[in-house]
Amino acid sequence: MSVPQGVLYGMCNPLLDISAVVPKELIEKYEAPLGGAILAEEKHMPIYEEIVKNYPVKYIPGGATQNVMRVFQWMNQASYPTAVFVGCVGNDEFGKIMKENVTKDGLQVIYRIDEETPTGTCAVLVNNNERALIANLGAANKYKHDHFLSEEVQKALNNAQFYYISGFFLTVSPESVLAVAEHALQNNKVFSFNLSALFIINFFNEVLMKVIPYTDYLFGNEDEAKEFAKTLKLDTTDVGEIAAKVSLLEKKNDKRKRYVVFTQGPDDVCIGYDGKCTKIPVKKIPKEQIVDTNGAGDSFVGGFLSFLVQGKPVEECVKAGIYSSSTIIQYEGCTYPEKPDLSQI
């Protein structure tokens, strides 16, 4: 089945990943969580210069939702953009590099250009195949709701049938997130969302809980699932149970029930639906084949959504997600071979 042009609309923080393999001491020095993500504070600012100066680095287009869109496009192998991504970059070299690369990947991007702030970057600190992320949002933090209301963005919004936003965008433009969610509700389209990070669940909980009722597909990893369960006082740390219970939270669109999809690294993917949980096993990748896990969660969602827009059953969507993420962890950052091998799914 051919996937329609612009069927998926995504919105978040476009960041240029600066990726380097570093010693564990450096990660500890900057108090970055292995396997997690934090926003850069003043004390983290020297990290960017430090890794560029002391280690071989790679510049890779990043930002959680932009990664999802790139993998979605790669899985579809269409000659036209099947996904549209909206965000904010600076008027600088990094912004130009990013637009060039993602356009080459087949995405349509509608960037707001901020004249005063540099393009956002993310230090990707890789150690022993795991990664810690320190994001300096820069211009990504300057996204304005006025841009969302522009004719070009509204046209992309109306044309799409599926929507995906990561929790990270709640720190920038919650107004735009809720507007996309409301549009999906009013038009009976599919809205998906990602918990994204522990700090989103803890420090942006109020607005997160406004978005959850709109969410048809909720994604997260096991740490986020457990943290979310704590804030909901669910009294369990079993990821499958949490997925089942979260599927029953208040939902505005009663035409379809919510799916909750929680990944657990190399362990089973838990699918919560209608108060029950099913589990899908993950294909094990030998440790020596894993290059780094940066982009693993995003690429899972990209693969999942590439099958979802084709109307495939959720179990198949999960298997597509497992394929795309297990492929991408064998490459540096969120990069991939020229073509996916869909026979592996």
CB-CB contact of 263 with 224 (8 Å): no
DSSP 266-291: TEEEEEEETTEEEEEPPPP--GGG--
Averaged pLDDT in 10-residue chunks for the chain of 345 residues: 94 95 96 92 95 94 95 96 98 94 95 97 92 95 98 98 98 98 98 97 98 98 98 97 98 98 97 98 90 86 98 98 94 84 92
Paired sense of beta strands 15-21 and 121-127, if any: parallel
Q: Tell me, what's the pLDDT at 284?
A: 87
Who contacts 23 (Cβ-Cβ below 8 Å, separation ≥6)?
127
Residue 194: the pLDDT is: 98
| Cβ atoms of residues 94 and 121 within 8 Å | yes
Q: Residue 182 and residue 252: Cα distance in Å, rounded?
A: 10
Q: Whole-angstrom Cα distance, residue 61 to residue 72? A: 15
φ, ψ (nearest 5 deg) of residue 271: -115, 115
What's the confidence (pLDDT) of residue 242? 98
What value, to the nearest 5°, has the Cα angle with vertex 107 and ends 49 and 145? 75
Q: Are 139 and 118 in contact (CB under 8 A)?
A: yes
Q: Across-strand partners of 122?
A: 17, 135
Residue 200, SS3?
helix
Residues 6+ apart with CB under 8 A from 287: 129
Do the Cβ atoms of 216 and 164 come closer than 8 Å?
no
Identified catalytic residue from 17, 114, 223, 298: 298
Token output for 316: 């198949």
Q: Which residues does residue 221 pair with via DSSP β-bridges, in sequence order? A: 263
pLDDT, position 98: 94
Q: What share of the chain is helix, strand, coil (3-state, %, to 5)?
A: 45, 25, 35
Q: Is 298 a catalytic residue?
A: yes
User: pTM, whole model, 2 decimals?
Assistant: 0.94
Residue 78: helix, strand or coil by DSSP?
coil
From residue 235, alpha-carbon distances to 41, 101, 122, 173, 230 in Å are: 33, 45, 35, 32, 7
Between CA 303 and CA 76 the distance in angstroms is 9
Q: Residue 190: name the closest of 56, 331, 309 by CA.
A: 309
Long-range contacts of range 42-46, CB-CB < 8 Å, 24 or more positions apart? Answer: 44/123, 44/134, 44/136, 45/136
d(CA 275, CA 103): 41
pLDDT at 304: 98
So what's the pLDDT on residue 163?
Answer: 99
Instruction: Name the residue type at position 92.
Output: D
Report d(CA 198, CA 200) in Å as an integer.
Answer: 5
